[in-house]
Every structure is written in C-alpha cells, then in structure tokens.
C-alpha cells in the first residue's frame, strides 16, 4: 500500500443500527442486524461490504467518500461525524444517490443495503453521537438505552442495549392528560403534584377518577394511541400490589420517544407540558439539565430490588424541539447509579446538539 493511501477504519467495534449489531474491523465483511425506525418490531439481516480509503491531497488534507455520497475535506473527526450524522439521522433513501461516482471504487455497498425500502442506515463514525454513546456504554456496568426523534417528525434513532421495561412514573403524563380530558379532576394541586413532584397518591387519585381499572386503562391507552404509540398496553389491575397498575405498563423506549415527539402537538396538553417544565429541583437530573426541557422521570425496583431509572420529554435545539427518551439499569441496582448514568447521557447529548435536527408541530 502506498504511503499516501492508507486504510481508514472509522468503525472499530462499532454498532450498526440499534444494540447488538456489530461491525468488524476494516478488511472484514461486517455482518449484523439493523432495526429500521419505521418497522421497530422487525429486525432485518444486513450485510455491508465497506471498503473505505482515505486519500491525502496535495495540501495534506484528507478527502473521503462514504456510503451516502458525501465527499469532503476532513480536518477533524468531528467534522466527519457531523456531516455523516446529518445524513444518517433524518434523511431517507440513503445509499440510493444515482449521481454518485462509483468508478473510484472507494466505497461499495451491497444491493440489500442500497435498496430504497431499507432506509436510515446508521453507522458509528468517530466524533458522532453514536460513536460517543458506544464509547460511554463500554465504560458502564449495566444496560442503557436512548432514543431521539424530532418533534413532529417521522424517523427516530435508537442507541444502546436497553429497549423496554416498566414505565414507572413516566406513565403519569398520559394518565394526567386522560384525567384532564375527562373533566374528572377538580384539584389543580393534584394534577401539579402528580407531575412536578411525581406524587404517587396524586396519581392514584387521577387513575381512580377515570372509573374502573378497565376504564382507566382504556382512557390512558387512548392518549397513547393519539400520540402515535400503537403498541403499548396499560394493565387494568396491579401486577405488584405495592406499585400502581399504570406504572407497570411495559413501555418501549421507541414507543415512548414517538409519543414524546407528538406530545406538544396533541390538543389539550399545554397545561401538562407546562408542568413538565416545572419539575421539582430534586428530580431535575438527566434531561432536567437542559434549559427549557419539558420532561418526566420514572424509577423503581424490580422484584429483586434492582432499580430501573428512565426519563422522557422534549428539549430545545437550534431549529425546533427534539424528543428524547433515556433509560438506565445499572448492575449495582441502585437508584443513585441509574440517576448518574442519565446525567452522563444528558451531558453526552448536549455535546452533539449541533448535529441533531429538531422539529415543530404543523
């Protein structure tokens, strides 16, 4: 290999798509599975034959091409990451640019990956949110997950190996909306306490105001459906006597972020989203670090006493709002460790806001 033409490996042990799909090192054929955002319940096998080279130009800068047809001068890994993540996050039909020059043989993609029905291929490139998330994950003991989606948008990106689990108090948001729409709540204090302080007694009052357990479950599910969540079911009775029925609903991170992306656009939700911006200081970790965040946290132990800690909501970005959902289940099982992980996820996200596209209600 000539001295001015060296192998470039932007994906050392990185992730394609969601958790668990691994890419090999340069010189191997990476094989794995990808979860496409518009078919979250299905995993498609994917083979990518990636042969990326970097070329030194006369001025000593590096020029690259990638599978999205991006061509540019690379002064730093952050510059590459920003450009490529912008192509990954919210564009469609990637890898189908008929105008791309394939004669250089600098990049090859299998026919399966290039098909227009397999969209939003995501790969971790140094300096991007995905790469830095993977780096953070390797230093943690436990399971973490993150999902992001522009408000009013159609496509999401997911990260990590935690995908679903009990909603805990995050389900108080659709519950409160259901109770307010039913005109069954006479106390604004009850509504405020259920959200800003995550008061369980107040939330139980809202639940009971909706009628029988079956009636309440259907009312909350109706709000979820209006918010784009077509899968989550809310139990009518308590699965664990010491915890609420609605809090034990299994709420996937992908469905939760989809609901968050629609929440500001739903009718009669302004009171609730305003309260989500007024979370009590003791609960303003994680997403609470963002100025202007509207969010809600939830946490609780499993039957072994190990805590799951999660949050969801919307944060402001330069061109709109971004829906975010976090979850952490530390091996230590402690609430404090889970809370600390969400702080780290928030810090990580804050460092990449300039790469992310927000949205707004139409």
Listed range (122-126, 183-187, 253-257, 336-340) with the worst mean pLDDT: 122-126
Helix (H) or strand (E) holding 308: strand 307-317
Terminal-to-terminal C-alpha distance of the chain? 53
For the purposes of burial, counting CB atoms within 10 Å of the CB of 237, is it exposed (0-12), middle (13-18) or buried (19 or more)? exposed
Picking from 98, 127, 156, the residue at the C-terminal end of a domain is: 127
Is residue 192 domain-shared with residue 268, that is, in the same domain? yes
145 and 93 assigned to the same domain: no
Indicate the residue among 127, 161, 189 that finishes a domain.
127
Mean pLDDT for the chain overall: 75
Asked whether residue 206 falls in the same domain as residue 301, the answer is yes
How far is 279 from 292, CA to CA, in rounded Å? 11
Which range, of 82-86, 122-126, 138-142, 257-261, averages the lowest pLDDT? 82-86
Whether 334 shows a pLDDT value over 90: the answer reads yes
Q: Is-contact 22 12, C-beta < 8 A?
A: no
Assess whether 97 and 184 both reside in one domain. no
Q: What is the mean pLDDT of residues 116-125?
A: 47
DSSP summary character for residue 298: E
181 and 55: one domain? no
- Whole-number pLDDT of residue 219: 97
Residues 167 and 116 occupy one common structural domain: no
| Dihedral pair phi/psi, residue 156, rounded to 5° | -125, 165
Q: Which residue has the higher pLDDT, 359 or 113?
A: 359
Residues 329 and 287 in one domain: yes
- Whole-angstrom Cα distance, residue 102 to residue 40? 32
The count of structural domains within the chain is: 2
Expressed as residue numbers, the domain containing 283 is: 140-355
pLDDT of residue 183: 80
For range 52-77, the mean pLDDT: 32
Residue 275 is predicted with a pLDDT of 97
């Amino acid at each position: 290999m000539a001295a001015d033409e060296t192998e470039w490996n932007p994906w050392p042990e990185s992730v394609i798509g969601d958790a668990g799909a691994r890419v090999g090192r340069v010189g191997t054929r990476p094989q794995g599975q990808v979860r496409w955002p518009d078919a979250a319940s299905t995993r498609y096998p994917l083979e990518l034959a990636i042969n990326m080279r970097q070329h030194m130009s006369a001025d000593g800068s590096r020029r690259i091409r990638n599978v999205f047809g991006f061509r540019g001068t690379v002064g730093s890994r952050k510059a590459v990451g920003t450009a490529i993540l912008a192509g990954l996050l919210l564009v469609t039909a990637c890898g189908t640019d008929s105008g791309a020059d394939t004669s250089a043989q600098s990049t090859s993609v299998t026919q399966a990956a290039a098909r227009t029905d397999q969209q939003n291929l995501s790969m971790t490139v140094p300096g991007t949110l995905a790469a830095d998330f993977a780096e953070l994950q390797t230093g943690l003991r436990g399971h973490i997950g993150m999902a992001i989606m522009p408000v009013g948008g159609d496509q999401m990106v997911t990260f990590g190996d935690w995908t679903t689990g009990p909603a805990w108090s995050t389900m108080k948001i659709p519950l409160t909306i259901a109770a307010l729409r039913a005109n069954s709540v006479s106390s604004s204090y009850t509504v405020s306490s259920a959200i800003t302080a995550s008061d369980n007694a107040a939330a139980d009052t809202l639940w009971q105001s909706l009628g029988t357990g079956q009636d309440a479950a259907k009312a909350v599910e109706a709000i979820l459906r209006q918010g784009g969540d077509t899968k989550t079911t809310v139990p009518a009775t308590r699965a664990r006597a010491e915890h609420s029925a609605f809090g034990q609903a299994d709420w996937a991170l992908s469905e939760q972020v989809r609901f968050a992306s629609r929440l500001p656009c739903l009718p009669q939700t302004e009171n609730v989203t305003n309260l989500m911006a007024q979370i009590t200081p003791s609960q303003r970790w994680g997403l609470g670090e963002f100025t202007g965040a509207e969010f809600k946290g939830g946490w609780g132990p499993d039957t072994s006493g190990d805590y799951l800690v999660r949050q969801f909501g919307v944060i402001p970005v330069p061109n709109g709002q971004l829906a975010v959902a976090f979850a952490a289940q530390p091996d230590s099982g402690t609430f404090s460790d889970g809370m600390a992980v969400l702080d780290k996820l928030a810090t990580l996200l804050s460092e990449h806001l300039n790469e992310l596209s927000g949205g707004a209600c139409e």
